[in-house]
């Protein structure tokens, strides 16, 4: 039975010191712990412990290093969230445009176009919930003006209200015979529809981590992404720098895919420089925890 009691901030600091964490400025530590919970910060000092059972810290582990890791991670999430926003808007635009022209503006509720009916039911149920609680004037006006139309508002209105996760599921669930599925994949540099769904699922999950302020540093991620053997656009030239299957759980391969897609959407983006600047600002952060490759910024993909 779990019987631990809540600790005060001063007790938390005492406990960390007894376990070997160096805290040079207790007032500063108190300030941090009053705004960032002990449990949340614990995700960053966990790797600093030599004994994970007894929570004993390695020699020279400092609270300053914990805070640096935390701040690095927070800035990394903000950076990636901005990149993912551009990918999300592009995907949404392409789904709405191509499928509304190939099929009709209500393609997303046409069950004959999708492989998994139950998954579509769930997606449409979530969309209906989003539309019912939205304060968007476009949706409100559409419902007033077309009371007798029992369909969803057309794609260009409805799909602006849904999440990246839902968009990636809609795309992945489309039957291969839908021509737009390959067209969108080609436009985003994925050659055909067999690769893009895994990229979008990965990016959608990372987006959720960013949105919920969850740790990205040193986190295991979905390892199901499929890499192109011969990408049509600049990728990684040195074979030893291409992430191997066992490294797919690290963030680096997922950032490579984001960069690959972003280079198509916004060719003159500054993702490389921002990421390089972030590592430079936090030299104590181990790039290997993210799976970074030596001289990654010199690869054609990142130039």
CA end-to-end span of the chain:
55
Give the model's pLDDT for residue 134. Answer: 86
Give the model's pLDDT for residue 14. Answer: 97
CA separation (Å) from 103 to 67, 100, 175, 198, 225?
52, 5, 13, 24, 29
Q: Which of 174, 165, 164, 208 is nearest to 194 (CA)?
A: 174
pLDDT tens-digit series, residues 31-41: 999 999 999 99
Count of CB atoms within 10 A of residue 5's CB?
5
pLDDT tens-digit series, residues 167-200: 999 999 999 999 999 999 999 999 999 999 999 9
pLDDT of 223 above 80:
no
Task: For residues 30 and 10, give the distance between their C-alpha atoms in angstroms, rounded to a whole number.
Answer: 7
pLDDT tens-digit series, residues 116-144: 999 999 999 999 999 988 888 988 889 88
219: left (phi over 0), alpha (psi -120 to 50) or beta: beta
Give residue limits of the domains in the chain.
Answer: 9-61, 69-298
pLDDT tens-digit series, residues 279-300: 999 999 999 999 999 899 999 9
CA separation (Å) from 52 to 171, 273, 290?
42, 36, 21
pLDDT tens-digit series, residues 3-14: 888 999 999 999
pLDDT tens-digit series, residues 77-90: 999 999 999 999 99
Least confident of 17-26, 29-38, 126-135, 207-216: 126-135
Is residue 195 within 8 A of residue 261, CB to CB? The reply is no
* Entry pTM: 0.93
Give the model's pLDDT for residue 148. Answer: 83
Task: For residues 57 and 220, give the distance between their C-alpha atoms in angstroms, rounded to a whole number.
Answer: 22
Q: Which pLDDT band holds residue 222 (cuts at 50, 70, 90)? A: confident
């Amino acid at each position: 039975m779990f019987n631990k009691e809540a600790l005060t901030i001063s007790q938390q600091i005492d406990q960390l010191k007894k376990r070997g964490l160096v805290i040079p400025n207790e007032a500063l530590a108190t300030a941090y712990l009053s705004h960032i919970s002990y449990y949340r910060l614990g995700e960053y000092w966990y790797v600093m412990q030599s004994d994970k059972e007894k929570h004993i810290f390695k020699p020279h582990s400092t609270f300053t290093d914990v805070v640096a890791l935390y701040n690095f991670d927070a800035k990394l999430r903000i950076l990636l969230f901005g990149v993912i926003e551009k990918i999300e808007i592009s995907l949404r635009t392409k789904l709405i445009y191509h499928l509304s022209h190939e099929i009709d503006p209500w393609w997303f509720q046409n069950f004959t176009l999708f492989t998994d009916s139950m998954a579509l039911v769930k997606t449409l149920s979530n969309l209906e919930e989003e539309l019912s609680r939205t304060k968007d004037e476009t949706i409100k006006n559409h419902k007033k003006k077309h009371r007798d139309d029992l369909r969803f508002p057309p794609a260009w209105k409805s799909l602006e209200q849904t999440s990246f996760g839902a968009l990636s599921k809609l795309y992945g669930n489309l039957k291969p015979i839908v021509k737009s599925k390959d067209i969108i994949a080609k436009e985003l540099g994925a050659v055909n529809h067999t690769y893009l769904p895994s990229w979008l699922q990965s990016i959608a999950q990372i987006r959720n981590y960013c949105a919920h302020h969850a740790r990205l540093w040193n986190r295991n991620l979905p390892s199901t992404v499929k890499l192109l053997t011969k990408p049509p656009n600049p990728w990684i030239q040195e074979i030893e720098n291409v992430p191997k299957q066992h490294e797919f759980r690290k963030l680096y391969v997922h950032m490579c895919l984001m960069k690959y897609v972003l280079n198509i959407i916004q060719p003159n983006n500054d993702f490389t420089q921002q990421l390089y600047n972030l590592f430079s600002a936090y030299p104590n952060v181990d790039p290997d925890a993210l799976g970074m490759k030596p001289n990654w910024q010199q690869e054609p993909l990142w130039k």
